[in-house]
Structure 1
Protein backbone atom coordinates (compact mmCIF):
# COMPACT_ATOMS: atom_id res chain seq x y z
CA UNK A 1 0.00 0.00 0.00
CA UNK A 2 1.27 3.45 -0.87
CA UNK A 3 1.94 6.09 1.77
CA UNK A 4 -0.95 8.54 2.19
CA UNK A 5 -0.70 11.91 0.53
CA UNK A 6 -3.41 13.59 2.59
CA UNK A 7 -1.17 13.23 5.65
CA UNK A 8 2.64 13.27 5.96
CA UNK A 9 4.43 9.96 6.59
CA UNK A 10 4.71 9.01 10.25
CA UNK A 11 7.80 7.57 11.97
CA UNK A 12 7.47 3.92 12.90
CA UNK A 13 8.02 2.68 16.46
CA UNK A 14 10.79 0.25 17.21
CA UNK A 15 9.02 -3.13 17.62
CA UNK A 16 8.79 -4.31 21.20
CA UNK A 17 10.16 -1.15 22.79
CA UNK A 18 7.35 1.39 22.68
CA UNK A 19 9.79 3.97 21.36
CA UNK A 20 10.35 5.88 18.14
CA UNK A 21 12.15 8.98 16.96
CA UNK A 22 9.49 11.68 17.07
CA UNK A 23 9.71 15.23 15.72
CA UNK A 24 9.08 18.06 18.25
CA UNK A 25 5.48 18.13 19.45
CA UNK A 26 4.67 14.86 17.68
CA UNK A 27 3.05 13.09 20.62
CA UNK A 28 0.63 15.98 21.10
CA UNK A 29 -0.33 16.28 17.44
CA UNK A 30 -0.56 12.64 16.34
CA UNK A 31 -4.12 12.29 17.62
CA UNK A 32 -5.39 15.07 15.35
CA UNK A 33 -2.99 14.11 12.57
CA UNK A 34 -4.95 11.00 11.58
CA UNK A 35 -8.47 12.00 12.58
CA UNK A 36 -11.08 11.69 9.81
CA UNK A 37 -11.66 15.24 8.51
CA UNK A 38 -15.44 15.04 9.02
CA UNK A 39 -15.43 13.45 12.47
CA UNK A 40 -15.49 16.69 14.46
CA UNK A 41 -18.29 18.11 12.29
CA UNK A 42 -20.35 14.95 12.85
CA UNK A 43 -19.62 15.15 16.56
CA UNK A 44 -20.85 18.75 16.80
CA UNK A 45 -24.06 17.91 14.92
CA UNK A 46 -24.80 14.93 17.17
CA UNK A 47 -24.12 16.94 20.34
CA UNK A 48 -26.44 19.73 19.13
CA UNK A 49 -29.15 17.18 18.34
CA UNK A 50 -28.63 15.62 21.77
CA UNK A 51 -29.08 19.03 23.39
CA UNK A 52 -32.42 19.39 21.62
CA UNK A 53 -33.50 15.91 22.77
CA UNK A 54 -32.51 16.61 26.38
CA UNK A 55 -34.29 19.97 26.31
CA UNK A 56 -37.50 18.34 25.10
CA UNK A 57 -37.12 15.55 27.67
CA UNK A 58 -36.52 18.03 30.47
CA UNK A 59 -39.52 20.11 29.44
CA UNK A 60 -41.72 17.00 29.36
CA UNK A 61 -40.65 15.85 32.83
CA UNK A 62 -41.01 19.35 34.31
CA UNK A 63 -44.47 19.71 32.76
CA UNK A 64 -45.50 16.32 34.11
CA UNK A 65 -44.45 17.32 37.62
CA UNK A 66 -46.37 20.61 37.42
CA UNK A 67 -49.44 18.92 35.96
CA UNK A 68 -49.18 15.98 38.38
CA UNK A 69 -49.18 13.31 35.71
CA UNK A 70 -46.91 10.49 34.62
CA UNK A 71 -44.05 11.75 32.41
CA UNK A 72 -43.27 10.10 29.12
CA UNK A 73 -40.99 7.11 29.90
CA UNK A 74 -38.65 7.98 27.03
CA UNK A 75 -38.14 11.45 28.50
CA UNK A 76 -37.24 9.90 31.85
CA UNK A 77 -34.89 7.49 30.09
CA UNK A 78 -32.93 10.31 28.46
CA UNK A 79 -32.65 12.24 31.71
CA UNK A 80 -31.21 9.25 33.60
CA UNK A 81 -28.78 8.47 30.75
CA UNK A 82 -25.75 9.71 32.75
CA UNK A 83 -26.34 7.05 35.40
CA UNK A 84 -27.17 4.33 32.88
CA UNK A 85 -23.99 4.98 30.90
CA UNK A 86 -21.88 5.08 34.07
CA UNK A 87 -23.21 1.76 35.37
CA UNK A 88 -23.04 0.06 31.95
CA UNK A 89 -19.37 1.00 31.58
CA UNK A 90 -18.63 -0.05 35.15
CA UNK A 91 -20.27 -3.42 34.59
CA UNK A 92 -18.35 -3.99 31.36
CA UNK A 93 -15.04 -3.21 33.05
CA UNK A 94 -15.90 -5.55 35.93
CA UNK A 95 -16.75 -8.36 33.49
CA UNK A 96 -13.39 -7.91 31.78
CA UNK A 97 -11.52 -8.05 35.09
CA UNK A 98 -13.47 -11.05 36.36
CA UNK A 99 -13.78 -13.15 33.20
CA UNK A 100 -11.11 -12.04 30.75
CA UNK A 101 -7.45 -13.01 30.47
CA UNK A 102 -5.41 -9.88 31.14
CA UNK A 103 -2.59 -9.23 28.68
CA UNK A 104 0.60 -8.64 30.68
CA UNK A 105 4.37 -8.99 30.38
CA UNK A 106 4.04 -12.65 31.32
CA UNK A 107 0.60 -13.47 29.87
CA UNK A 108 0.75 -13.08 26.06
CA UNK A 109 3.96 -11.01 26.19
CA UNK A 110 4.06 -10.47 22.41
CA UNK A 111 0.62 -8.86 22.48
CA UNK A 112 1.65 -6.84 25.53
CA UNK A 113 4.57 -5.38 23.59
CA UNK A 114 2.16 -4.46 20.79
CA UNK A 115 0.00 -2.67 23.34
CA UNK A 116 2.97 -0.81 24.82
CA UNK A 117 4.21 0.19 21.36
CA UNK A 118 0.81 1.51 20.28
CA UNK A 119 0.24 3.49 23.49
CA UNK A 120 3.71 5.04 23.28
CA UNK A 121 3.34 5.78 19.58
CA UNK A 122 0.09 7.66 20.16
CA UNK A 123 1.49 9.50 23.17
CA UNK A 124 -0.89 8.08 25.77
CA UNK A 125 0.17 9.08 29.29
CA UNK A 126 -1.01 5.77 30.75
CA UNK A 127 -1.05 2.26 29.35
CA UNK A 128 -4.63 0.98 28.93
CA UNK A 129 -5.56 -2.44 30.25
CA UNK A 130 -6.10 -5.17 27.66
CA UNK A 131 -8.00 -8.44 27.89
CA UNK A 132 -8.68 -11.54 25.82
CA UNK A 133 -12.27 -12.75 26.18
CA UNK A 134 -13.99 -15.88 24.92
CA UNK A 135 -15.19 -15.32 21.36
CA UNK A 136 -17.29 -18.41 20.60
CA UNK A 137 -16.70 -17.75 16.91
CA UNK A 138 -17.17 -13.97 17.07
CA UNK A 139 -14.47 -11.94 15.31
CA UNK A 140 -14.42 -8.62 17.16
CA UNK A 141 -12.55 -6.26 19.47
CA UNK A 142 -13.52 -3.07 21.29
CA UNK A 143 -12.29 -0.23 23.47
CA UNK A 144 -14.00 1.38 26.43
CA UNK A 145 -13.33 2.97 29.80
CA UNK A 146 -14.65 3.52 33.29
CA UNK A 147 -13.65 6.49 35.40
CA UNK A 148 -10.01 7.25 34.67
CA UNK A 149 -9.32 3.70 33.46
CA UNK A 150 -9.23 2.82 29.79
CA UNK A 151 -9.17 -0.69 28.39
CA UNK A 152 -9.47 -2.74 25.25
CA UNK A 153 -10.60 -6.32 24.76
CA UNK A 154 -10.11 -8.74 21.90
CA UNK A 155 -12.26 -11.80 21.32
CA UNK A 156 -10.25 -15.01 21.39
CA UNK A 157 -11.13 -15.98 17.81
CA UNK A 158 -9.66 -12.71 16.55
CA UNK A 159 -6.72 -12.83 18.96
CA UNK A 160 -5.65 -16.19 17.50
CA UNK A 161 -4.45 -14.53 14.29
CA UNK A 162 -1.55 -12.95 16.20
CA UNK A 163 0.60 -16.05 16.56
CA UNK A 164 4.01 -16.07 14.91
CA UNK A 165 2.85 -18.78 12.50
CA UNK A 166 -0.11 -16.68 11.41
CA UNK A 167 -0.25 -12.90 11.01
CA UNK A 168 1.08 -10.95 14.00
CA UNK A 169 0.97 -7.68 12.05
CA UNK A 170 -2.79 -8.10 11.64
CA UNK A 171 -3.18 -8.40 15.41
CA UNK A 172 -0.86 -5.43 15.83
CA UNK A 173 -3.17 -3.43 13.55
CA UNK A 174 -6.24 -4.52 15.55
CA UNK A 175 -4.62 -3.48 18.82
CA UNK A 176 -3.49 -0.22 17.22
CA UNK A 177 -7.04 0.40 16.00
CA UNK A 178 -8.55 -0.11 19.46
CA UNK A 179 -5.89 1.92 21.27
CA UNK A 180 -6.50 4.54 18.58
CA UNK A 181 -10.11 4.82 19.77
CA UNK A 182 -8.77 5.67 23.23
CA UNK A 183 -6.18 8.11 21.87
CA UNK A 184 -8.84 9.88 19.79
CA UNK A 185 -11.10 10.34 22.81
CA UNK A 186 -13.85 8.05 21.55
CA UNK A 187 -14.12 6.19 24.88
CA UNK A 188 -14.50 9.30 27.05
CA UNK A 189 -17.51 9.22 29.39
CA UNK A 190 -18.28 12.86 28.69
CA UNK A 191 -18.14 12.30 24.95
CA UNK A 192 -20.52 9.34 25.18
CA UNK A 193 -22.81 11.35 27.42
CA UNK A 194 -22.73 14.27 25.00
CA UNK A 195 -23.87 12.15 22.07
CA UNK A 196 -26.22 9.81 23.95
CA UNK A 197 -29.31 11.88 23.28
CA UNK A 198 -29.04 11.60 19.50
CA UNK A 199 -26.74 8.65 18.77
CA UNK A 200 -29.86 6.51 18.19
CA UNK A 201 -31.22 8.83 15.46
CA UNK A 202 -30.97 7.03 12.08
CA UNK A 203 -28.10 8.21 9.89
CA UNK A 204 -26.90 10.86 12.35
CA UNK A 205 -25.40 8.73 15.09
CA UNK A 206 -24.27 6.00 12.70
CA UNK A 207 -22.42 8.49 10.49
CA UNK A 208 -20.47 9.76 13.49
CA UNK A 209 -19.68 6.17 14.44
CA UNK A 210 -18.35 5.40 10.95
CA UNK A 211 -16.15 8.49 10.98
CA UNK A 212 -14.70 7.32 14.30
CA UNK A 213 -13.99 3.89 12.83
CA UNK A 214 -12.12 5.46 9.92
CA UNK A 215 -10.13 7.50 12.44
CA UNK A 216 -9.23 4.36 14.38
CA UNK A 217 -8.25 2.64 11.13
CA UNK A 218 -5.98 5.60 10.39
CA UNK A 219 -4.35 5.16 13.79
CA UNK A 220 -3.82 1.47 13.06
CA UNK A 221 -2.42 2.21 9.60
CA UNK A 222 -0.07 4.89 10.92
CA UNK A 223 1.21 2.40 13.49
CA UNK A 224 1.54 -0.71 11.29
CA UNK A 225 0.47 -0.19 7.64
CA UNK A 226 1.46 -3.72 6.64
CA UNK A 227 -1.08 -5.16 9.08
CA UNK A 228 -4.16 -3.52 7.58
CA UNK A 229 -4.68 -6.05 4.78
CA UNK A 230 -4.48 -9.06 7.08
CA UNK A 231 -6.83 -7.48 9.59
CA UNK A 232 -9.46 -6.70 6.94
CA UNK A 233 -9.08 -10.18 5.42
CA UNK A 234 -9.77 -11.71 8.83
CA UNK A 235 -12.85 -9.54 9.34
CA UNK A 236 -14.06 -10.59 5.89
CA UNK A 237 -13.46 -14.35 5.95
CA UNK A 238 -12.47 -15.34 9.47
CA UNK A 239 -9.33 -16.65 11.11
CA UNK A 240 -8.97 -19.75 8.91
CA UNK A 241 -9.62 -18.33 5.44
CA UNK A 242 -7.99 -14.92 5.93
CA UNK A 243 -4.82 -15.97 4.08
CA UNK A 244 -6.88 -16.87 1.00
CA UNK A 245 -8.57 -13.46 0.64
CA UNK A 246 -7.57 -11.22 -2.26
CA UNK A 247 -7.80 -7.89 -0.45
CA UNK A 248 -7.27 -5.92 -3.66
CA UNK A 249 -10.29 -7.60 -5.23
CA UNK A 250 -12.20 -6.81 -2.05
CA UNK A 251 -11.22 -3.14 -2.26
CA UNK A 252 -11.96 -2.96 -6.01
CA UNK A 253 -15.60 -3.83 -5.36
CA UNK A 254 -16.08 -0.61 -3.39
CA UNK A 255 -16.43 1.29 -6.66
CA UNK A 256 -18.61 -1.27 -8.45
CA UNK A 257 -21.06 -2.43 -5.77
CA UNK A 258 -23.81 0.15 -6.07
CA UNK A 259 -27.55 0.68 -5.67
CA UNK A 260 -29.96 2.06 -3.12
CA UNK A 261 -29.66 -0.83 -0.69
CA UNK A 262 -25.87 -0.67 -0.74
CA UNK A 263 -26.15 2.98 0.29
CA UNK A 264 -28.86 2.13 2.85
CA UNK A 265 -26.90 -0.65 4.56
CA UNK A 266 -23.83 1.54 4.90
CA UNK A 267 -25.81 4.58 6.07
CA UNK A 268 -27.33 2.64 8.97
CA UNK A 269 -24.15 0.77 9.92
CA UNK A 270 -21.98 1.66 12.91
CA UNK A 271 -18.88 0.63 10.92
CA UNK A 272 -18.06 1.43 7.30
CA UNK A 273 -19.00 -1.49 5.05
CA UNK A 274 -15.96 -3.68 4.63
CA UNK A 275 -15.25 -3.05 0.94
CA UNK A 276 -15.29 0.73 1.52
CA UNK A 277 -13.09 0.30 4.56
CA UNK A 278 -10.55 -1.75 2.66
CA UNK A 279 -10.62 0.75 -0.21
CA UNK A 280 -9.84 3.60 2.21
CA UNK A 281 -6.91 1.65 3.68
CA UNK A 282 -5.53 0.97 0.21
CA UNK A 283 -6.07 4.43 -1.29
CA UNK A 284 -4.39 6.75 1.21
CA UNK A 285 -4.81 9.83 -0.99
CA UNK A 286 -8.23 10.63 0.46
CA UNK A 287 -10.23 9.85 3.62
CA UNK A 288 -12.81 7.07 3.83
CA UNK A 289 -16.27 7.76 2.46
CA UNK A 290 -19.10 8.14 4.95
CA UNK A 291 -22.24 8.17 2.79
CA UNK A 292 -21.37 7.86 -0.90
CA UNK A 293 -19.36 5.06 -2.45
CA UNK A 294 -15.81 5.76 -3.61
CA UNK A 295 -15.29 6.70 -7.24
CA UNK A 296 -12.75 4.83 -9.29
CA UNK A 297 -9.58 6.84 -9.84
CA UNK A 298 -6.43 5.69 -11.55
Structure 2
Protein backbone atom coordinates (compact mmCIF):
# COMPACT_ATOMS: atom_id res chain seq x y z
CA UNK A 1 0.00 0.00 0.00
CA UNK A 2 2.82 2.37 0.84
CA UNK A 3 4.38 1.82 -2.59
CA UNK A 4 1.04 2.44 -4.31
CA UNK A 5 0.50 5.72 -2.44
CA UNK A 6 4.10 6.76 -3.13
CA UNK A 7 3.60 6.21 -6.85
CA UNK A 8 0.28 8.10 -6.82
CA UNK A 9 1.73 11.07 -4.96
CA UNK A 10 4.80 10.99 -7.20
CA UNK A 11 2.65 11.16 -10.32
CA UNK A 12 0.56 14.01 -8.84
CA UNK A 13 3.74 15.93 -7.96
CA UNK A 14 5.14 15.37 -11.46
CA UNK A 15 1.94 16.61 -13.12
CA UNK A 16 1.82 19.64 -10.82
CA UNK A 17 5.43 20.55 -11.55
CA UNK A 18 4.81 20.22 -15.29
CA UNK A 19 1.77 22.48 -15.02
CA UNK A 20 3.64 25.10 -12.98
CA UNK A 21 6.46 25.06 -15.54
CA UNK A 22 3.91 25.57 -18.33
CA UNK A 23 2.36 28.48 -16.41
CA UNK A 24 5.73 30.20 -16.10
CA UNK A 25 6.55 29.60 -19.76
CA UNK A 26 3.22 31.21 -20.60
CA UNK A 27 4.24 34.19 -18.46
CA UNK A 28 7.66 34.49 -20.10
CA UNK A 29 6.48 34.26 -23.68
CA UNK A 30 3.48 36.48 -23.01
CA UNK A 31 5.10 39.24 -20.95
CA UNK A 32 8.84 39.25 -21.59
CA UNK A 33 10.83 39.99 -24.75
CA UNK A 34 12.65 37.01 -26.26
CA UNK A 35 16.12 37.44 -27.75
CA UNK A 36 16.13 36.08 -31.32
CA UNK A 37 17.87 36.76 -34.61
CA UNK A 38 14.94 39.06 -35.40
CA UNK A 39 14.59 40.66 -31.96
CA UNK A 40 17.72 42.51 -30.79
CA UNK A 41 19.96 40.51 -33.17
CA UNK A 42 23.21 42.04 -31.87
CA UNK A 43 22.51 40.89 -28.31
CA UNK A 44 21.30 37.55 -29.57
CA UNK A 45 24.52 37.02 -31.54
CA UNK A 46 26.59 37.63 -28.39
CA UNK A 47 24.36 35.27 -26.40
CA UNK A 48 24.70 32.51 -29.00
CA UNK A 49 28.47 33.03 -29.21
CA UNK A 50 28.87 32.75 -25.44
CA UNK A 51 26.66 29.63 -25.31
CA UNK A 52 28.62 27.92 -28.07
CA UNK A 53 31.96 28.91 -26.60
CA UNK A 54 30.92 27.22 -23.35
CA UNK A 55 30.02 24.06 -25.24
CA UNK A 56 26.22 24.16 -25.36
CA UNK A 57 24.80 22.61 -28.51
CA UNK A 58 21.27 23.65 -27.52
CA UNK A 59 21.16 27.43 -27.08
CA UNK A 60 19.05 28.48 -24.06
CA UNK A 61 16.10 30.76 -24.67
CA UNK A 62 16.93 34.23 -23.38
CA UNK A 63 14.42 36.86 -22.31
CA UNK A 64 14.61 40.49 -21.26
CA UNK A 65 12.04 41.71 -18.76
CA UNK A 66 11.21 45.01 -17.10
CA UNK A 67 12.91 44.94 -13.70
CA UNK A 68 12.00 48.51 -12.68
CA UNK A 69 15.67 49.34 -12.14
CA UNK A 70 16.87 46.10 -10.54
CA UNK A 71 20.12 44.83 -12.06
CA UNK A 72 20.22 41.05 -12.11
CA UNK A 73 19.99 37.90 -14.21
CA UNK A 74 18.68 34.41 -13.68
CA UNK A 75 19.19 30.94 -15.15
CA UNK A 76 16.44 28.36 -14.86
CA UNK A 77 15.35 25.07 -16.30
CA UNK A 78 11.70 24.20 -16.83
CA UNK A 79 11.12 20.58 -17.77
CA UNK A 80 13.74 20.10 -20.50
CA UNK A 81 13.94 23.73 -21.58
CA UNK A 82 16.89 25.96 -20.70
CA UNK A 83 16.26 29.65 -20.06
CA UNK A 84 18.19 32.78 -19.10
CA UNK A 85 16.36 35.89 -17.89
CA UNK A 86 18.07 39.28 -18.15
CA UNK A 87 16.65 42.32 -16.44
CA UNK A 88 16.13 45.48 -18.45
CA UNK A 89 18.56 47.32 -16.16
CA UNK A 90 21.43 44.86 -16.64
CA UNK A 91 21.05 45.06 -20.43
CA UNK A 92 21.69 48.82 -20.16
CA UNK A 93 25.25 48.21 -18.96
CA UNK A 94 27.47 50.56 -20.95
CA UNK A 95 30.27 48.02 -21.30
CA UNK A 96 29.50 45.09 -23.61
CA UNK A 97 32.08 43.00 -21.75
CA UNK A 98 30.11 43.37 -18.51
CA UNK A 99 26.98 42.02 -20.14
CA UNK A 100 29.04 39.24 -21.71
CA UNK A 101 30.26 38.29 -18.23
CA UNK A 102 26.69 38.21 -16.89
CA UNK A 103 25.54 36.05 -19.80
CA UNK A 104 28.49 33.72 -19.29
CA UNK A 105 27.75 33.41 -15.58
CA UNK A 106 24.12 32.41 -16.16
CA UNK A 107 24.88 30.06 -19.07
CA UNK A 108 27.56 28.42 -16.90
CA UNK A 109 24.81 27.27 -14.52
CA UNK A 110 23.42 25.22 -17.42
CA UNK A 111 26.82 24.02 -18.62
CA UNK A 112 27.97 22.89 -15.17
CA UNK A 113 24.76 20.96 -14.54
CA UNK A 114 23.57 23.11 -11.64
CA UNK A 115 19.99 23.02 -12.92
CA UNK A 116 19.85 19.38 -13.99
CA UNK A 117 16.69 17.82 -12.50
CA UNK A 118 18.22 14.38 -11.91
CA UNK A 119 21.28 15.83 -10.21
CA UNK A 120 19.07 18.09 -8.10
CA UNK A 121 17.09 15.03 -7.01
CA UNK A 122 20.28 13.20 -6.03
CA UNK A 123 21.46 16.27 -4.11
CA UNK A 124 18.13 16.71 -2.32
CA UNK A 125 19.20 14.91 0.91
CA UNK A 126 21.88 17.59 1.34
CA UNK A 127 19.15 20.19 1.84
CA UNK A 128 18.28 18.51 5.14
CA UNK A 129 21.83 18.91 6.46
CA UNK A 130 22.11 22.31 8.22
CA UNK A 131 24.13 24.85 6.25
CA UNK A 132 25.36 22.29 3.69
CA UNK A 133 23.17 23.19 0.70
CA UNK A 134 23.73 26.98 1.05
CA UNK A 135 27.48 26.31 1.12
CA UNK A 136 27.20 24.24 -2.05
CA UNK A 137 25.11 26.98 -3.68
CA UNK A 138 27.72 29.60 -2.82
CA UNK A 139 30.42 27.42 -4.37
CA UNK A 140 28.35 27.23 -7.56
CA UNK A 141 28.24 31.02 -7.75
CA UNK A 142 32.02 31.27 -7.42
CA UNK A 143 32.40 28.70 -10.22
CA UNK A 144 30.06 30.57 -12.55
CA UNK A 145 31.82 33.85 -11.80
CA UNK A 146 35.11 32.27 -12.88
CA UNK A 147 33.56 30.93 -16.09
CA UNK A 148 31.99 34.31 -16.90
CA UNK A 149 35.27 36.12 -16.26
CA UNK A 150 37.14 33.73 -18.57
CA UNK A 151 35.02 35.06 -21.46
CA UNK A 152 36.14 38.69 -21.20
CA UNK A 153 39.57 39.99 -22.16
CA UNK A 154 39.80 42.58 -19.39
CA UNK A 155 39.03 40.82 -16.11
CA UNK A 156 38.25 44.18 -14.51
CA UNK A 157 35.04 44.18 -16.57
CA UNK A 158 33.95 41.05 -14.70
CA UNK A 159 34.79 42.63 -11.36
CA UNK A 160 32.93 45.84 -12.13
CA UNK A 161 29.95 43.87 -13.48
CA UNK A 162 29.49 42.33 -10.04
CA UNK A 163 30.05 45.69 -8.36
CA UNK A 164 27.52 47.27 -10.73
CA UNK A 165 24.91 44.69 -9.67
CA UNK A 166 25.66 45.53 -6.04
CA UNK A 167 25.51 49.27 -6.69
CA UNK A 168 22.67 49.30 -9.21
CA UNK A 169 23.72 52.66 -10.67
CA UNK A 170 24.64 52.73 -14.35
CA UNK A 171 25.67 56.39 -14.00
CA UNK A 172 28.56 55.37 -11.70
CA UNK A 173 29.76 52.53 -13.90
CA UNK A 174 32.97 54.19 -15.11
CA UNK A 175 33.87 55.35 -11.59
CA UNK A 176 33.84 51.93 -9.96
CA UNK A 177 36.90 50.81 -7.99
CA UNK A 178 36.84 47.04 -7.34
CA UNK A 179 39.76 47.22 -4.89
CA UNK A 180 38.00 49.84 -2.77
CA UNK A 181 34.82 47.77 -2.89
CA UNK A 182 36.67 44.66 -1.69
CA UNK A 183 38.21 46.72 1.13
CA UNK A 184 34.70 47.09 2.59
CA UNK A 185 35.00 43.45 3.67
CA UNK A 186 37.23 44.60 6.54
CA UNK A 187 34.24 46.40 8.07
CA UNK A 188 31.91 43.41 8.00
CA UNK A 189 31.32 42.35 11.64
CA UNK A 190 33.10 39.03 12.07
CA UNK A 191 30.57 36.87 13.92
CA UNK A 192 27.49 38.53 12.45
CA UNK A 193 28.98 38.31 8.95
CA UNK A 194 29.71 34.63 9.46
CA UNK A 195 26.19 33.90 10.72
CA UNK A 196 24.62 35.69 7.79
CA UNK A 197 26.94 34.09 5.24
CA UNK A 198 26.24 30.47 6.24
CA UNK A 199 22.52 31.02 5.66
CA UNK A 200 22.85 32.62 2.22
CA UNK A 201 22.82 30.87 -1.16
CA UNK A 202 25.05 33.59 -2.68
CA UNK A 203 28.38 34.83 -1.27
CA UNK A 204 28.75 38.48 -0.36
CA UNK A 205 29.52 40.61 -3.40
CA UNK A 206 32.72 41.85 -1.80
CA UNK A 207 33.92 38.26 -1.55
CA UNK A 208 32.89 37.45 -5.12
CA UNK A 209 34.83 40.42 -6.48
CA UNK A 210 37.83 39.55 -4.30
CA UNK A 211 37.70 35.98 -5.59
CA UNK A 212 37.93 37.19 -9.19
CA UNK A 213 40.82 39.48 -8.34
CA UNK A 214 42.71 36.55 -6.79
CA UNK A 215 41.86 34.17 -9.66
CA UNK A 216 42.81 36.59 -12.40
CA UNK A 217 45.69 38.76 -11.19
CA UNK A 218 46.66 41.39 -13.72
CA UNK A 219 48.58 39.92 -16.64
CA UNK A 220 48.55 36.34 -15.35
CA UNK A 221 46.67 33.17 -16.17
CA UNK A 222 44.00 32.01 -13.72
CA UNK A 223 45.17 29.88 -10.84
CA UNK A 224 44.38 26.17 -10.90
With normalisation by structure 2, the TM-score equals 0.82
Matched, 1:176 2:108: no
Structure 1 vs Structure 2 CA RMSD: 2.8
- The separation in 2 between residues aligned to 1:78 and 1:195, in whole angstroms, is 18
Contact 1:237–1:245 (Cα < 8 Å) also in 2:
no
- Per the alignment, residue 42 of structure 2 pairs with 110
Question: Would you tell me which structure has more helix in proportion to its own residues?
Answer: 2
Matched, 1:276 2:204: no
User: How big is the shift at 1:230?
Assistant: 2.5
Contact 2:181–2:206 (Cα < 8 Å) also in 1:
yes
Choose between structure 1 and 2 for higher RCO, CA contacts under 8 A separated by at least 6 residues: 1
Contact 1:254–1:279 (Cα < 8 Å) also in 2:
no
3-state SS of paired residue (1:214): helix
- The separation in 2 between residues aligned to 1:92 and 1:201, in whole angstroms, is 30
Closer, same or farther in 2 for the Cα pair 1:190/1:93, shift >3 Å?
farther
3-state SS of paired residue (2:193): helix
3-state SS of paired residue (1:199): helix
3-state SS of paired residue (1:280): helix
- The separation in 2 between residues aligned to 1:137 and 1:156, in whole angstroms, is 7
- Per the alignment, residue 120 of structure 1 pairs with 52
Task: Tell me which of 145, 153, 157 is aligned to 1:227.
Answer: 157
User: How big is the shift at 1:136?
Assistant: 1.7
- Per the alignment, residue 208 of structure 1 pairs with 136
With normalisation by structure 1, the TM-score equals 0.63
Closer, same or farther in 2 for the Cα pair 1:283/1:265, shift >3 Å?
same
Give per-residue Cα distances to partners, 1:136-162, cap 9 Å, x unaligned.
22222111122332110111122211x
User: How big is the shift at 1:134?
Assistant: 1.4
Correspondence list, 1:1-298, <5 A = 62=2, 82=14, 85-161=17-93, 166-199=94-127, 202-224=130-152, 225-240=155-170, 241-254=172-185, 257-284=188-215
Larger Rg: 1
- The separation in 1 between residues aligned to 2:206 and 2:16, in whole angstroms, is 35
Closer, same or farther in 2 for the Cα pair 1:105/1:193, shift >3 Å?
same
Structure 2 unaligned regions, length at least 5: 218-224
User: How big is the shift at 1:86?
Assistant: 4.2
Closer, same or farther in 2 for the Cα pair 1:147/1:238, shift >3 Å?
same
- The separation in 2 between residues aligned to 1:268 and 1:99, in whole angstroms, is 33
Structure 1 unaligned regions, length at least 5: 1-60, 66-76, 287-298
Contact 2:70–2:168 (Cα < 8 Å) also in 1:
no
